[in-house]
Amino acid sequence: MALITKNCEYCGRPFQTDTRNLARGWGKCCSKSCAASLRERSTAQIGTATKPRLTYDELVARANAEPTKAKPRHIESHLQRNCFTWFRLQYPRLRLLLFAVPNGGFRNKREAGIMKAEGVTAGVADVILLKPSGGYASLCVEFKTEDGTQRATQKEWQKAAEGAGNKYVIVRSFDAFKEEIETYLSAK
């Protein structure tokens, strides 16, 4: 270990520092407070050099600009949650027979492979009501946004489900869900 005397880059006082610290880029200041002050001064200089100041007109234009509205996310999820809440309150005896199929979401390749081996099938409806009614074995509900469309796997699954005697509906709003459930359960 070799010590050398050096002047602090912030306050100019002489201090001793290890040559190994100098090799690492340390040992520029005599204390932690001087090092912090040096960092503040250097970032303030960098900040003013890279950020041009706004003129008054630019500032006013920015303040009066129309805010860009972020696209809402998880619309189908919010709709589905609201529908489940209503159903469980409206039909407490059937609450265990209405369930969601966890096919969506993002998973890593390993977990997706495990789920596929366990029998997860692409295109299955979002929600299934296991209650026979009106000549149908069950009600399969697919939630979609106002402009959402079915994927090819969903259309294929719909065809298979309907062919097996199930009712399949696409729901785009809470009112549509409520109407479909009430119509399905009141059918004889």
For 1-65, the three-class secondary structure string (H helix, E strand, C coil) is CCEEEEECCCCCCEEEEEHHHHHHCCCCCCCHHHHHHHHHHHHHHHHHHHCCCCCHHHHHHHHHC
End-to-end CA distance of the chain: 92
Kindly report, residue by residue over 108-131, the tens digit of the pLDDT.
888 888 888 988 888 999 999 999
pLDDT at 71: 65
* pLDDT range class, residue 23, cuts 50, 70, 90: confident
Q: Is residue 47 over pLDDT 60?
A: no
pLDDT grade for 46, boundaries at 50, 70 and 90: low
Q: Which residues pair with 35 in a beta bridge?
A: none
Which of the four pLDDT bands, split at 50, 70 and 90, describes residue 50? Answer: low
Helix (H, G, I), strand (E, B) or coil at 93: helix
Q: What is the pLDDT of residue 99?
A: 94
- Is the C-alpha dihedral spanning 174, 160, 112, 118 positive or negative? positive
pLDDT tens digits along 88-108: 999 999 999 999 998 777 788
- How far from chain centre, in Å, is Cα 75? 12
Average pLDDT of the chain to the nearest whole number: 86
What is the mean predicted confidence (pLDDT) over 29-36?
Answer: 87
126 class by beta-carbon count within 10 Å (0-12 exposed, 13-18 middle, 19+ buried): buried
Q: What percentage of the chain carries pLDDT values higher than 90? A: 43
- In the predicted model, what is the mean pLDDT of residues 5-26? 85
